[in-house]
Amino acid sequence: MTDDGELLSADDARILALESSVLTGHTLKLMILAPGEPLDLSALRATVLSRLVDQPRALQRVQGGGAGQPPRWVTAEDFDIAEHVRRRAGAECATTEDLRRVVSALMSEHLDRGRPLWTLDLIGPLADGSEAIAARMHHAMVDGIAGMRFLETILLDPHEGVEPGLAAPASPAPASPAHEPPVPGASVPDPVPSAHISLPAVLAREFGQPGSRSPFDRRISGARDLAFTVAPLAGLKAIGASRPHHATVNDVLLAAVAGGLRTWLGRHGAHLDLRAQVPVSLHHRDEDAAAPGNHDSFINVDLEIAAPDPLDRLDRISARTRTEKQSGDAAMLYELFHALGTIPTVDAIVHRVADSSREFSLAISNVPGPRVPVAVAGRRVERLFSSSEPGAHHALRVAAISHADEIGIGFCTDPAAVPRVDALAEAVGEAYGELHRAALG
């Protein structure tokens, strides 16, 4: 760190540069609190402010980023907690549909580049006395794992009856979403590829089988529509454990999303070859749990939506992710893309190919959240959801996050490009039920 600030990492600067009039660059975490007395905003601000001391990015803003001015993190000298922890004005909420409307509007609003790139918006109370907190954090500041750690540090506490210190994920470093966590919410990093794994084999697996024309290959505007559903973590694990070759929780999640897409797309969907890009965290167990920034890669997975049998679909998905995991595809792709990043022209061409709608149709992420029930100011968090924005030619984004005994699944679209996302959320919930019945009776 110097008087001139700290340069953004190459990954963080690239993500910042993607922001545009239609892309906000942030993720959103939605926490729905149990019914109770309305939160005391002043007290909540004081609590959050007292916890920011060990979160360097929370008190820094981005400076520069224009032509010839590489972006830097600099201290926000005029930091005002009231600008970051606030009650959403004009957001009267009585129903879950009202809540969807409000968080959809938040997802479409850019964070203020003149301030640190995060906000906590209080929403409600709803008619049943519950309240919600929508946390937005720019992806240049945190990736999915670091964002959850940030919220656990500044906002979340173990719920009454849970021992202090157990609210965080089981491991400070999460694992590849394609890998089964050894304990709920935990994960391990993608392995370093073995010497005998060839780069051509990885490239053929990840980019050598372009899919069909994607129904999500649409231009997008800045409008957003969000929807949510939940699935029990125990049920996802039981389905995976029932298969001849053990399927991970993430495999079952992908199969449920695939089943929902098959139903939602109708007769046309059964003939599509859709692939999902699945982000893979490459954070390591021994790194600082408070470390900000991005360190992730991806794998591409065929969703097998043409397969009519849900268990056959799951087994095919599981076989694919198992191969990619054992071969270290994500780690090798990370090293390759960073090496090519030193050659601007080549880097642009490679990213254009990798980001093609024929290489993947939609992104589906899964982030480990708190292993145990958590609370905000003594109010239990009853539901936790994540939402990440879609992109040009990838107008649907699915983001899952675990919390205690369930996984919350968020869907984000541009409603003009992909209408009826609430129906998709419902279809995915039904597809989970179909998988459960088929696997366990």
Low-confidence ranges of the chain (pLDDT < 50): 1-2, 164-196, 284-286, 289-290
Helical axes 233-241 vs 421-440, angle rounded to 10°: 50
Cross-strand partners of 279? 298
CATH number of 199-369+389-440: 3.30.559.30
Q: Of 279, 210, 226, nearest to 425 (Cα)?
A: 226
428/430 Cα distance (integer angstroms): 5
How confident is the model at residue 362, as a pLDDT?
94
Tokens at residue 125, please? Answer: 């109370």
Q: Contact at 8 Å (CB) between 104 and 224?
A: yes
Cα(150)–Cα(145) distance, integer angstroms: 9
Angle at 146 (CA atoms; ends 141, 148), nearest 5 degrees: 115
pLDDT (0 to 100) of residue 332: 63
Task: Tell me how crowded residue 56 is: count the other CB atoms within 10 A of its CB.
Answer: 16
Tell me the backbone φ, ψ of residue 393, rounded to 5 degrees. Answer: 70, 5
Q: Which of 3.30.559.10, 3.90.1150.10, 1.10.1040.10, 3.40.50.10860 is the CATH number of 6-158?
A: 3.30.559.10
Q: Are 141 and 111 in contact (CB under 8 A)?
A: no
Contact residues for 19 (Cβ-Cβ < 8 A; gap 6+): 25, 110
The continuous run of DSSP H or E covering 226 comes out as: strand 225-232
Residue 135 is predicted with a pLDDT of 98
Residue 161 · residue 363 · CB < 8 Å: no
- Residue 116, classified by CB atoms within 10 Å of its CB into exposed (0-12), middle (13-18) or buried (19+), is buried
Q: Which element (helix H / strand E) includes 421? A: helix 421-440
The pLDDT assigned to 183 comes to 29
Amino acid at 434: E
- The residues, ordered by sequence, that sit 6+ positions from 191 with a Cβ below 8 Å of its Cβ are 325, 328, 331
Residue with tokens 């601000």: 45
Tens-digit pLDDT profile for residues 169-184: 433 333 334 333 322 2
Domain ranges of the chain: 6-158, 199-369+389-440
Q: Do domains 6-158 and 199-369+389-440 have the same CATH topology?
A: yes
pLDDT digit string, tens, across residues 114-154:
999 999 999 989 999 999 999 999 999 998 888 999 999 99
Q: How many CA atoms lie within 13 A of 94 on its CB side?
A: 0
* Residues 34, 374: Cα–Cα separation, whole Å: 11
Distance CA 228, CA 429 (A): 9
Q: How remote is the C-alpha of 251 from its chain's centroid?
A: 16
Residue type, 37: E
In sequence order, what are the residues at sequence separation of 6 or more whose Cβ sits closer than 8 angstroms to the Cβ of residue 345?
A: none
